[in-house]
Every structure is written in structure tokens, then in C-alpha cells.
Structure 1
Amino acid sequence: MSQYSVADMMVVAIARRLKNNEKVFHGVASPVPMVATMLAKNSYAPKLVYLNIAGGVNTKPKKLEKSTDGPELIEGCASMFTLTDIFDLSARGELDVAFLSGVQIDVKGRLNVSAIGDFNKPKVRLPGGAGSAVLVPTVKKAFIWRTKHNKRTFVEKCDFVTTQGNIEYIFTPLCIFKKDEEGLKLDRIFKNSSLEEIIENTGFEIRYDEIVYEEEPTKEEMDLLDKIDPEKIREIEF
């Protein structure tokens, strides 16, 4: 067993689920998806097409920075595009994976990044949906990540539904949920956690077919991860 952090586990788990020839996009404030996509591109899925909000296609940055919208993310790229192009690509059914997140995520797999409480008089006004309202319904697979797993985040019903649609997986520090016709179902548990901890920290009933643990990161995966991200940018979301 290799030594690894929660961030390492999330990044590796995400990367394992990206496939060759998929067009994969991440936006701003996305260190975990950024590093995960680069890990997949350099190991499991070398033919993956990596797209980022900075406009780079298959970029090869010399060094990762904290921003996921910086100029280094167009270094060595094969070509460039605009964010409008990404929305068009998704609307045409040609974007395979988009990474998004939510402040509230409910049992049906709906996301809230708009407001906590009554929308007209909210307790907290959130930043809003930005591209998520377009991408989640149109992308083939939305991969959702959230670096906090508690009852404030995972709720029975969102206070406001900013977007819903083609969610495939939700990755947290404790586990992986997969969305089916009924809503979210527990898919994998990380070995740093347990079913009891997940139940205790989730605001809805946990459905599952069987208890399955995600394999821990291997030494090879950790060595490559540290080569790609030696400054551990992946840790800054935690």
C-alpha cells in the first residue's frame, strides 16, 4: 500500500474513469479535475482529448499553477478554442465529459449553486450556474466533484435547482456515487472511509447493491501523479 492523501485518492479515482478518445473539459477553480485529466492522459487514456477553459487542446504545461485558467494551460497545445466553442460542442452531442460541482447536491443528482434558503430572500447568495446550466443537460457525462462530504452539501432536496441532467459520477472525499434512474446510488467507498461514516455525513438514505471499495492508488500511480503535480496543486481545494 502506498502513502496517499484524500486528494490523491480522489484524483486517481477520477482519472481511472476517463477513457481513450473522450473529449474531456474542465473550467475554472478545478485543480482536482485538472490533475486527474492530466494523470489519465499520461497513463490510462493517452488518446484522451484534454480541453480546458483557458482554451488549450492537449496542453503540455511545464509547471502547474493554482489557477486552472492561467496562460500555462495553453503551453504546447495542439490548438485553441473559445468557451463558446465548448458550449457548441456539447450542444452537438460531441463533448464526452465535463467537470462541474455544486454547493448542494440532492438525492436526485440535482445541483444548486444559486442560493441557500428561499431564492427571493436567501440566507446565502451563491455565485450562480455559469456554464453548468448548459453543460450538465447536454454533455454526454457530467463528472461532479465536491471536496466536502457533509449533510449541508448532500441534501434530500436542493433549496434551488440550478441544473440537472446527464450526471454520471459524483466524487467526494469519502466515496463515489453513481446516478441511475432513481437518483444517486453508492458505487464505491474509499478505504479511508466506511459505510457508517458515509451514512452519518449524508442527508439522504444511502442506496447500494453491495459494498465495494475503490482500490488504493498504486505506487506507479503515485509516482506519476507526483511527476505531473510536484507542487501538489491538487491539495489546495481541501
Structure 2
Amino acid sequence: MVTATFRFYEELNDFLAPERRKHEFDCRCARAATTKHMIEALGVPHTEVEFILVNGESAGFDRLLQQGDRVAVYPMCETLDITPLLRVREYPLRVTRFIADVHLGGLARLLRMAGFDTLYETYFRDEEISAISARDNRIVLTRDRELLMRREITHGCYVRELKSSRQLREIFERLDLVGSMRPFTLCLHCNTPLQSIGKERAKHVVPSGVLSRYEKFSTCEVCHGIFWEGTHWERMQALLAGLVPPA
């Protein structure tokens, strides 16, 4: 066994036992323990970690811990320039796509509303979520820290908020999504890209009052839903506008 000193910063403390939060503490580790093994043994999912310092030097998840090591663990930090440091993930995702667990259906629909490809099914098991995440390079969204500790998952977010609109803001702020929005381009129900249609086609499926008041319509070719810029659209537009920081 070896003993190392750990310090976790900012929101990573939420995952620790109360007596270990916001200060250094010593912890005994197996001789072959890596930084990743010990970070997760202490309760912090590896997906929540952005970079690690061991004895003041940048380290990855595979760093073997030695007697007397001092380990500092950081989440994503917008106010700190970490350009010269080693990020613990080898590559960023080129396209921001998500998969949400069974408890985050409301968030999944709101992300689709904002134009982000988000898979969600109530029947997804944890092993399916981790496999799809690895296969499709998707960010896992969950309130289950054990799910985020699965080895196959490289990118994930532990969602702290309980209300879906607040969850949306949390994810937008954490991942800086405002500039990547493509609102109202995906079906809220099945995640399929929407197609614009003319009034001639829409008149067979929408009420006559709707047809006379609105000019723009779109449809999902999978579930055959029809969408227009009505009061529901206005409420969603207001929700998205509230996510954009003031100039």
C-alpha cells in the first residue's frame, strides 16, 4: 500500500464524503492504483474530471500513484488557462451529440428543440447507453454516477438540477452550447431532422384555423408529426432566448 494526498476542486466536491470536501486529505492506495482508479474509488466519475496534477505536474488517468504523491483533481474550469496542461481525454468530440438516461426525458426533448442530436429511450439499459456512447461518440447525460464510471464512457455529464428547463441551462453553461444551437430542426419526439413542407401538404393534417394563421410548416418523416410557429413554439423560443448571455 502507498499513501497519497488528494485535493478535489469546485463541483467535484459534491461527489465526496462530507469530511473530505474542500481540503486536502490522505488516502491509502493499492501499489498498482492509477489516478483514475482512486478518483472513482473516492466517488468522482472520471467523466467529470478535466485535468489532474500530480506533484504539480500534469498527469493522465493512467498515472501510477506512488508513496507521498500529491494529487489535485479539477473539473472543467473556464477561468483557468490550462493550455499547457494535459487534458485527461485524448480528443474532443467533433460533433456534440448526446444520449440521455431514463430519468432525463424532459431534458432530451429540450436539447432536441435546441437542435442537438439526443438519443433517449425509456428501455435503454446502462450497458446499452455505454455501448452506444462509445460507438457513436455521444456525451452521456445522467444523474447516475455509477453509469459515468463505466470504462467505455469517455464523455459524460452528471446532471445536478432536477427541473428540465434548469437542466438545459446547466448543460448549456457547462458545455458552452449557445453558439452551436440550431433551434427547431429536429423532431422533439423521435430526434429526426425536420423537413419543410408547403401549405398544400399541411392542409390535409392541420386544423383550418391553423392553416389560415401560419405560413411555415415542417414535418417529421418518421413519426409524421406536423409543426408550426404557434404558441408552443413561442414559449420554446423564449426559453432558448433566455439561455443566450447578454451582449
TM-score, structure 1 length as denominator? 0.26
Instruction: Point out which structure has higher relative CO (alpha carbons under 8 A, 6+ apart).
Output: 1
User: Radius of gyration: which is bigger?
Assistant: 2
Q: Which protein is richer in helix relative to its size?
A: 2
TM-score, structure 2 length as denominator? 0.25
